[in-house]
Amino acid sequence: MAAIEQDFPSGPLSVLAELESWRKEVNRPTYHMHKWWATRLGSVFRAILIGALSEDNTDIWNAFYSHISFPDKVVLDPFMGAGTALGEALKLGCTVVGSDINPVSAFQVSKALEPVDIYELQLAFERIKNKVQPQIQPMYQAVDPETGNIADILYCFWIMTAICPACKTHVRLFDTSIFAKNAYPRKVPAAWSVCFACGEINATRYNALNLRCSGCQREYNPQDGVAEGAKATCQNCGFVFRIVDAIAHTGRMPEYEMYALLILTAEGQKKYIRANEADKELYNRAHALLKQQNLLLPTGVIKPGHNTNQLLRYNYGEWRQLFNDRQLYCLSLLLQAILEEPNRNCRELLLLLFSSILEYNNIFCSYKGEGTGAVRPIFNHHILKPERMALENTVWGIVKGTTKSSGCFQTFFESRLMRALTYRQKPFELRAVKEDGKVSGEKVYNLSCAPIASLVNSFDALRSGKNRALLFCSDSAHLALPDQSVDVVVTDPPYFDFVHYSELADFFYAWLRLGLEQTRPEFGAETTRHPCEVQQRDARAFSEALAKVWQECVRVLKPDGLLIFSFHHSRNEGWEAVGQALFAANLGVVAAHPIKAEMAGASPKSQTGEPINYDAILVCKQLPAPVSTSLEAAIADTLALARKKFGTLSPDNQPARLSKGDRFVVLQSQALCVYSRHMGHLIDGKGAEVTLAQFLAATTGCLGAISAEDDEQAERAQEQAQSGAEANQFSAIVLTDLFDHEKSELMIE
């Protein structure tokens, strides 16, 4: 029996995971050279792998900070995504097999693991710099109105416009006149506002309610805007209209107007200035060059889908339309220079970097403000949302003194690519250190092997040497692997109704295909969408597709091998879908452990009232013979297990609070454990068999029955925290009722 079947260090590991999640691109840079969605944390996968490959008497937390290795073990990830599980397995000396049906995933994982000559890579970067910087940089220069000197542009500010359905006036869709402020405005209150009457840029405070324009002397409230939510009010006639309807009616994409710039003077001073006719003429010059030259540009069409329908409603039909003409011109110059590089490894790694900056160089970006990474990228919300107050980045980027452009090729070469390659050569783990009531992370080196692997094309080649990886870009329901050849499966599967990876990945694929279509067969199709991908909105269809992958995993797993994956969902249909997929593969959940997932402040979560911040790690193996039990006993077992899991978190995560969503995840993960032991032999008070759906409904309704004793213990812990216990950045676990007690249709005696 493996250690993870018995126990797991959920408490201390969640503290560590919280630390890692705030700067994933720094703490695990190898897996963040390029965008992938909902990536799980490297420290969590390290602990999972140690627990899965160690005997049951192993202390996983102690082993986490030891130089531990499993050189004879084969690890499979059938949904490899960004490659986190594979990289962590390589660090533990394992042989790895990864598969993903999406070509963007397969490409970025191959680049994350494959060796490259760093010296040759730096030479390649310098050659590209010498070719394109002299062409791109003049496209982003302006005149400082105070001195008349040429200054570099850091960012250009654009506003979406719509035609008023009533008076046909062009309406500039500002949410507020304040377009720039510090990321920490209470600490640095300075802000900048655009006057809607004359276009002048005015200095103000982020919370000011009255401002006199320095240009036209008009007094106005800088907080006011033209657009609010889905609607806008025409400033000419006062008509209120739905923005998307007004734009859809035109049959054209939204138009944008440039209204401001952030420039960097030769002396290193940043200034927000009004965009003038010369600035607009410079943009028009790029527009003309784009039309005149035969440039490499994507031709991919945006297809209808859960995540792309919003684009279509705004009349976007091609992926290239998500970029303005100056961005297209500069990106094409850069791409052409990269593709001229002769060394394949260097060329492809720089192509991956190029693809990475696309997220920060399109017209769907917005401004976060100074004091942090200034550019809010297109996938900040995991969706494709047209941006009304848009930001144009400068593609190549500026590095001058302490000022560096956010999300550009030059800056990302150092901060993303070189940082990742340095980490591969000398990987480290974080250790949580508490000092003066605050928790910080210190780096611990010399614990791991280098996560670098030679890529092979067959399982025989994989087993014939060390430091090798076998990667498939294919349907994971059909793997070219022998029976019983894998020791453990560790993965993070798609969530059926959340992020549709292929619809989003096509944004990158449209550009990557220009450089890879001739050398990689998986880039031959027009889209990354595939009929066999496990990404369905219908719960039953999702469960059936996932079951096929789990069945294939069972085929290739050695006897008693574990399949371990992370999961969370806010509704019972998600838990039922995953459970039924496991049961169809003759698998059951033998243990479930809560663990910190993405950082609580991530954008999709911060906008949710009760966000889910914890995953459940589901440890699965082939089902033993079921044991008969009553519904009453099964619910009691589930609640007891859930209560125990809450306790494993509290000692290390106090003073804090689990959200309602978190507590639901913990409860239903334990419900899957209990149901797995009694499937087909779980009987209600009338002698009828209880289905998984019925059992999940019953446990949901009974969560409020967690004992008053647990509530009192949590209240006492909270009182101690309020009366002087050291505060830290993690919130307190408060065991309050999750839901109102619901009546169950099942009889409980």
Average pLDDT of span 32-39: 93
Average pLDDT of span 699-714: 60
Question: What is the pLDDT confidence band of residue 525, given thresholds at 50, 70 and 90?
Answer: very high
Question: What is the pLDDT confidence band of residue 371, given thresholds at 50, 70 and 90?
Answer: confident
Residue 653: pLDDT over 60: no
Q: Identity (one letter) of the amino acid at 331?
A: L
Neighbouring residues of 442: CB distance < 8 A, sequence distance ≥ 6: 430, 431, 433
Cα–Cα nearest to 354, from 408, 300, 301:
408
Average pLDDT of span 12-26: 92
Distance, CA of 389 to CA of 394 (rounded, Å): 17
Cα–Cα nearest to 317, from 328, 304, 306, 301:
301
pLDDT in tens, 533-577: 998 888 999 999 999 999 999 999 999 999 999 999 999 999 999
Report pLDDT for 657. 66
Residue 400: pLDDT over 60: yes
Report pLDDT for 706. 55
Rounded to two decimals, the pTM is: 0.92
Average pLDDT of span 193-220: 97
DSSP for 88-156, written as a single string: HHHHTT-EEEEE-S-HHHHHHHHHHHS---HHHHHHHHHHHHHHHHHHHGGGGEEE-TTT--EEEEEEE
Average pLDDT of span 342-369: 97
CATH of segment(s) 3-114+452-621: 3.40.50.150
Report pLDDT for 260. 98
Average pLDDT of span 660-673: 93
Report pLDDT for 38. 85
- Assign 3-state DSSP to the chain and report helix, strand, coil percentages, each to 5: 40, 20, 40
Residue 748: pLDDT over 60: no
Question: What is the pLDDT confidence band of residue 721, given thresholds at 50, 70 and 90?
Answer: very low
Report pLDDT for 605. 47
Report pLDDT for 716. 52
Question: What is the pLDDT confidence band of residue 631, given thresholds at 50, 70 and 90?
Answer: very high
Question: What is the pLDDT confidence band of residue 652, given thresholds at 50, 70 and 90?
Answer: low
| Percent of the chain topping pLDDT 70 | 91
Q: Are strands 587-596 and 255-264 parallel, antiparallel or unpaired?
A: unpaired
Residue 91: pLDDT over 80: yes
Residues of the chain with CATH 3.40.50.150: 3-114+452-621
Q: What is each CA distance from 46 to 89, 103, 314, 469, 529, in whole angstroms? A: 7, 25, 43, 17, 31
Task: Give the total residue count for the chain.
Answer: 749
Among 41-45, 596-600, 625-629, 696-700, which is the least confidently predicted range?
596-600
Distance, CA of 484 to CA of 558 (rounded, Å): 4
